[in-house]
Chains A and B, each alone.
Chain A
Amino acid sequence: MMKTFRTGGVHPPEMKQLSEKMALERVEAPELVVLPVSQHIGAPAKTIVAVGDVVAKGQVIAEANGFVSVPVHASVSGKVKAIEQRTTPLGKVCDHIIIENDGEDRLAEGVGEARDVTNVSPKQIKAIVRDAGIVGMGGAAFPTHVKLSPPDDRPIDLVLLNGVECEPYLTCDHRLMLERAGDVVAGLRLIMKALGVERAIIGIEANKPDAYEAMVAATKDDAGISVSLLTVKYPQGAEKQLIDALAGREVPPGRLPLDVGVVVHNVATAHAIFEAVSKSMPLIARPVTVTGEGIERPANLIVPLGTSIRDLLVRQGVSPKTKKLILGGPMMGIAVPDPDIPVVKGTSGVLALTKIPRYLPGPCLRCGKCIEVCPLRGMAAEMVAAIEAGEVEKYEHLHVLDCMECGTCTFACPSQRPIVHYVKRAKAELAAWKAEQKHKEKT
Chain B
Amino acid sequence: MSDYILLFISIVLVNNFVLAKFLGLCPFIGVSKRISQSIGMGAAVIFVMTMASAVTWVVNHWLLAPTESNLFFRWFGGDVASHDYTFLTTVVFILVIATLVQLVEMFLMKVVPPLYDALGIYLPLITTNCAVMGVALLNIKDFGMLHDPGESFAKTVLQGFGGGAGFMLVILLMSGIRERLDRTDVPPALKGAPIAFICAALMALAFMGFAGLGHE
In their complex, do chains A and B touch, with some C-beta pair under 8 Å?
yes
Q: Mark B167-194, 1 if CB is under 8 A from A, else 0.
A: 0000000000000101100000000000
Query: Can you pick out 7 interface pairs between chain A and chain B where the beta carbons lie within 8 Å of each other?
Result: A385-B180, A385-B183, A386-B183, A388-B183, A389-B182, A389-B183, A391-B182
A385–B180 Cα distance when bound, in Å, is 9
Contacts of A391 in B (CB 8 A): 182
Q: For residue A388, which residues in chain B have a CB less than 8 angstroms away from its CB?
A: 183
Considering the complex, give the chain B residue whose CB is closest to the CB of A387.
Answer: B183
Please, which residues of chain A bring their CB within 8 A of the CB of B180? 385
Give the chain B neighbours of A386 by CB distance below 8 A.
Answer: 183
Q: How far is the CA of A389 from the CA of B183 in the complex (A)?
A: 5
- Encoded as 1 (CB less than 8 Å from any B CB) or 0, chain A from 370 to 385 comes to 0000000000000001
A388 to B183, CA, bound (A): 7
Instruction: Give the A-B pair count, Cβ closer than 8 A.
Output: 7
Q: Given the complex of chains A and B, what is the CA–CA distance between A391 and B194 in angstroms?
A: 22
Q: Which residue of chain B lies nearest to A364 when distances are taken between CB atoms in the complex?
A: B183
The 6 A-B pairs at the shortest CB distance, nearest first, are namely A389-B183, A385-B183, A389-B182, A388-B183, A386-B183, A385-B180
What residues on A are CB-neighbors of B183 within 8 Å?
A: 385-386, 388-389
Alpha-carbon gap, A386 to B179, bound state (A):
10
Give B177 Cβ to nearest chain A Cβ, in Å.
Answer: 14
The smallest beta-carbon distance between A330 and chain B, in angstroms, is 30
Complex contacts, A385 vs chain B, CB 8 Å: 180, 183
Chain A nearest Cβ from B215, distance in angstroms: 37
**Min C-beta distance of A364 to chain B, whole Å:** 10
Q: CA–CA, A386 to B182, complex, Å?
A: 10
Give the docked Cα–Cα distance between A391 and B35 (Å): 14
A-side contacts of B182, CB under 8 Å: 389, 391
In the complex, what distance in Å separates the CA atom of A425 from the CA atom of B105?
A: 41
CA–CA, A29 to B105, complex, Å?
Answer: 76
Q: How far is the CB of A95 from chain B (nearest CB, A)?
A: 43
**B 200-215 to A, binary, CB cutoff 8 A, 1 in contact else 0:** 0000000000000000
Alpha-carbon separation in the docked complex, A391 to B33 (Å)? 13
Whole-angstrom distance from the CB of B33 to the nearest CB of chain A? Answer: 12
Shortest distance from the beta carbon of B115 to any chain A beta carbon, whole Å: 16
A385 to B182, CA, bound (A): 10
Cα–Cα, bound, A386→B183 (Å): 7
Shortest Cβ gap from B130 to chain A (Å): 33
Shortest Cβ distance from residue A425 to the other chain B in the assembled complex, whole angstroms: 16
Please report which residues of chain B, range 128-142, place their CB below 8 angstroms from some CB of chain A when the two chains form the complex. none
CA distance A241 to B166 in the complex (A): 45
For the complex formed, measure the closest distance between the CB of A37 and the CB atoms of chain B, giving whole angstroms.
43
* In the bound complex, CA of A394 to CA of B183 (Å): 13
**In the complex, how many angstroms separate the beta carbon of A397 from the nearest chain B beta carbon?**
12
Nearest A residue to B183, CB-CB: A389
- Taken together as a complex, chains A and B put the C-alpha atoms of A81 and B182 apart, in Å, by 56
- Report Cα–Cα, A391/B183, bound state, in Å: 10
Kindly report which residue of chain B lies nearest to residue A389, judged by CB atoms: B183
Query: A385 CA to B185 CA in the complex, in Å?
Result: 12
Min Cβ gap A386→B in Å is: 7
Chain B positions within 8 Å of A389 at CB level:
182-183
